[in-house]
Structure 1
Amino acid sequence: MSKAPEVDRRSAADWLSSRVESQAGRIFLVTGANSGLGLETARALGTLGATVIMTARDSAKGEAAVESLRAEQPDGKFELRHLDLADLESVREFAAGVEHVDVLINNAGVMMPPHSLTEQGYELQFGVNHLAHFALTLLLFNTLLQGENPRVVTVSSGLHHRGRIHFGDLHGNQKYSRTGYYAQSKLANVVFGLELHRRLRTNGIGMLSVLAHPGYTATNLQSSGPTGISKLAMKVSNRIMAQDVGMGALPQVYAAAGADVESGQFWGPDGRNESKGYPTVVQPLDEARDRELARRLWDISVEMTGVHIDLEP
Structure 2
Amino acid sequence: MKNIITSLSMTIVGTFLVALAINLVSVPNELGDGGVTGLTLFFHYTLNFDIPKTAFVLNVIILIIGWKLLNKLTIIYTLISIAALSFFLQVIQPAPFIPDNQLVAPLVSGVIMGTGLGIVIRGGGSTGGTDILALIVNKYTGISVSNALLMFDGVIISLLFFAIGLEKGAISIVGILLYSRILNFWVTGYNPKNALFIISHKHEEIGNEIMDKVKRGVTIFSGYGFYSKKQRQILYVVVSNRQLMAVKKIVHNIDPKAFIAVNDVQQVDGEGFTFLREPEEMTLETDESILNPNG
Provide the TM-score with structure 2 as the length reference: 0.28
Provide the TM-score with structure 1 as the length reference: 0.27
From the two aligned structures, give the one with the greater helix fraction. 2
User: Which entry has the higher C-alpha Rg, 1 or 2?
Assistant: 2
